[in-house]
Chains A and B, each alone.
Chain A
Amino acid sequence: MKSIIEDLNKAFENKVRLGVMSILVVNEFKDFNSLKELLQVTDGNLASHIKSLEKLEYVDVEKKFVDRKPRTEYRVTEQGRLAFKKHIAAIEKLLK
């Protein structure tokens, strides 16, 4: 039991962070507004959760200009993908 709880990742306890990771592991990248629309959260809320995932080096941020408008794209890092996989595996084990 103990080891399962250790495998559960605190970073993914929050629904918004969990949602961001779920979206990014199946998409090459997503921009800020698409994430906001999918998750139905406010700018500030989303930004702070992404920031914390960034700090853990689970997501990469790329800022670019499309038609002279700034656009921020997010993608999951290899480290983030592994951590997320481990988290899901732990949930599945726990529910068994």
Chain B
Amino acid sequence: MENAKEKYIEDLKVIRSMMDRSGRFISLSGMAGVIAGCIALLCAYLAYELVYEGQEYFSYRQFSATRSELLLLLALGTSAILSSLGAGYWLTRRKAKQNGQSVWGSESKQFMASFFPALITGGLLVLILLAKGFLGLVAPLCLLFYGLALVNASKYTLKETRGLGVIEIILGLLGIYFIGYGLAFWALGFGLAHIGYGIYMHLKYDA
């Protein structure tokens, strides 16, 4: 009888692991979140130095940028996104291997198909706004669309991403309301929230 019990405990483990692994892409790495957060903080600092040079730290700030400063900002943002994605991909691939999941399997495709539409829409919108000169909206809208993408994709990956998404959405809306403090909210959302959630998820799933 005891043997039979052990077999069925083993069976329940198989059932749970298969349900988890087949429905969700569970190999997202927490460390990737921490790295992305650090990159974001560094970029926010560089952007701050670039844009708000000579203005006071915590008061309303006027944002004015010349064309070359704008291009520099764009390059900064793009390299932040690319290096975060690169680190994320590398760490996630490593974790996927441990989980016996494929980075390009049907679970990750489901995840990406629900993650990228909102993100790409937001990216294009931000580029249009930049071109039209609505600079103040750029940082909060990045947060808003990133949050929407996360909430939408959370049903296909670790469920904690939903909470992170909601935080990004709230910060995005606050950033629009308190326009002029966009970069501070951006640093909170992409920097601190990522680091916090990354550490939490690393401890919960990776350790």
Contact = CB atoms under 8 A, between A and B. Distances in A.
B5 A23 contact: no
Interface string B1-27: 000110011011011101101110000
Q: What range describes how many residues of A lie at the interface? A: 20 to 34
B22 A27 contact: yes
Interface of A is mostly: helix
B102 A23 contact: no
B54 interface: no
A15 B23 contact: no
B16 to A, nearest CB: 8
A67 interface: no
Given A94-B5, A95-B5, A38 B12 contact: no
A22 B9 contact: no
Contacts of A27: 22-23
A94 B15 contact: no
Given A15-B14, A34-B105, A26 B22 contact: yes
A88 B15 contact: yes
Q: Closest 9 interchain pairs by CB? A: A22-B18, A23-B22, A22-B15, A26-B23, A34-B106, A91-B8, A26-B19, A19-B18, A23-B18
6 contacts: A15-B11, A19-B18, A30-B22, A30-B106, A94-B5, A95-B8
Given A19-B14, A34-B105, A91-B12, 9 more contacts: A18-B14, A22-B15, A23-B18, A23-B22, A26-B22, A30-B106, A91-B8, A91-B11, A95-B9
